[in-house]
Chains A and B, each alone.
Chain A
Amino acid sequence: DTAVSQTPKYLVTQMGNDKSIKCEQNLGHDTMYWYKQDSKKFLKIMFSYNNKELIINETVPNRFSPKSPDKAHLNLHINSLELGDSAVYFCASSLPGHNSPLHFGNGTRLTVT
């Protein structure tokens, strides 16, 4: 069973469109995250959700909105897509506690044309 799963794996869309990436974890974790990895392979935290409450928002444009319908899901909705949004987006989850490892999904490669 996949612990953290993201869909779709690949997403190709045009500028100006609105798209969503879904993330589900079956680990019973309380905290979920979204990371962005750009073409230079640098991983940046975008959002963190703990028990459905946003606890981090790292200077991400408000076109990006995380939505958590329940503790096991954290979806990423992106409005008015721009070329610069092209990247690989990773979802992750963890238990509370500083020593709890993050479990990552395998990423969604978003290409905006």
Chain B
Amino acid sequence: DAKTTQPNSMESNEEEPVHLPCNHSTISGTDYIHWYRQLPSQGPEYVIHGLTSNVNNRMASLAIAEDRKSSTLILHRATLRDAAVYYCILRDKNQAGTALIFGKGTTLSVSS
């Protein structure tokens, strides 16, 4: 699996936007970009995924660079509940049903 690089930690204030970066310079044409997050004492939960175009859902937005070598998860208005570890993961579309390989992720702290 292609590797992703994320900052170890980031801080934000409540109700401000948060931009979580992810570098994946060795991404292949068949890799989808997935984001998960893990709240304290819970299992990981799916956030969003995309291939080339920017994506929006009720939780977040995903901005993908034109060369696909990086992406950014955008939380439009951070809340205290958004404090979690955020994982950027590449998933090959030709390997359906395979497990996600988690890296270290970015620990997001949100202050009131």
Contacts and interface: CB of A to CB of B under 8 A. Distances in A.
Given A41-B85, A98-B32, A50 B46 contact: no
Interface stretch (A11-19, A69-77, A78-86, A104-112): A104-112
Contacts of A105: 43
A99 B99 contact: no
Interface in B15-63: 32, 34, 36, 38, 41-46, 49
B96 A97 contact: yes
Nearest to B46: A101
B107 to A, nearest CB: 9
Interface of A: 4, 30-31, 33, 35, 41-45, 48, 50, 55-56, 90, 92, 94, 96-99, 101-107
B44 A104 contact: yes
B46 A31 contact: no
B100 A98 contact: no
Interface of A is mostly: strand
Contact of B97 (A4, A41, A43, A55): A55
Which of A35, A43, A56 has the most chain B CB atoms closer than 10 A to its own CB?
Answer: A43
21 contacts: A4-B43, A33-B99, A42-B104, A43-B38, A43-B44, A44-B102, A45-B101, A48-B98, A48-B99, A50-B97, A56-B99, A90-B44, A97-B96, A97-B97, A98-B32, A98-B94, A99-B49, A101-B34, A102-B46, A106-B42, A107-B41
B14 interface: no
A94 B45 contact: no
B38 to A, nearest CB: 8
Which of A56, A92, A96, A101 has the most chain B CB atoms closer than 10 A to its own CB?
Answer: A101
A60 B100 CA distance: 16
Given A98-B32, A99-B49, A45 B99 contact: yes
A103 B42 CA distance: 12
A25 to B, nearest CB: 12
B42 A107 contact: yes
A107 B32 CA distance: 26
